[in-house]
Amino acid sequence: MLKTQTVSAILHRSRLSFPITTSPSPLPATTSNMSTTENAIRAHPPREAPEELRQQRPQQPTGAYFPLGYKEAAYQWWSGVTPSMAERSVLKHVPFLKEATASMGSLSNPDTDSADPFGTRIWRRSMVQLSGKNRALNEFSIERVGEDPEETLVMLHGYGAGLGFFYKNFEPISRIPGLKLYALDMLGMGNSSRPSFKIHAKDREGKVIEAENWFIDALEEWRKARKIERFTLLGHSLGGYLAVSYALKYPGHLKKLILASPVGIPEDPYAVSSALPEPSESTMQNEFTVDQQTTTTTKNGAAVPPRRPYPSWLVWLWDANVSPFSIVRMAGPLGPRFVSGWTSRRFNHLPAEEAQTLHDYSFSIFKQKGSGEYALAYILAPGAFARRPVINRIQDVGRQPIKGPNGEIVGKETGIPIVFMYGENDWMDVAGGLAAEEKLKQVKADIMRTGTEEEKANDNGSCSVVIIPKAGHHLYLDNAEFFNNIMRKEMEDVKEMEKRKRVESS
Indicate which residues carry an active-site annotation.
237, 426, 473
Q: Which residues contact 481 (CB under 8 A, 6 or more apart)?
A: 172
Pairwise CA distance, residues 35 & 60, whole Å: 13
The bridge status of strand 254-260 relative to strand 231-236 is: parallel
| DSSP state, residue 137 | E
Pairwise CA distance, residues 14 & 95, whole Å: 43
- Pair 177, 147: CB distance under 8 Å: yes
- Pair 443, 394: CB distance under 8 Å: no
Pairwise CA distance, residues 21 & 346, whole Å: 14
Q: Which residues contact 373 (CB under 8 A, 6 or more apart)?
A: 159, 160, 188, 189, 323, 325, 326
Pairwise CA distance, residues 360 & 347, whole Å: 12
Closest alpha carbon to 140 in 166, 115, 120, 159: 166
- Pair 262, 241: CB distance under 8 Å: yes
Pairwise CA distance, residues 54 & 57, whole Å: 5
Pairwise CA distance, residues 148 & 336, whole Å: 44
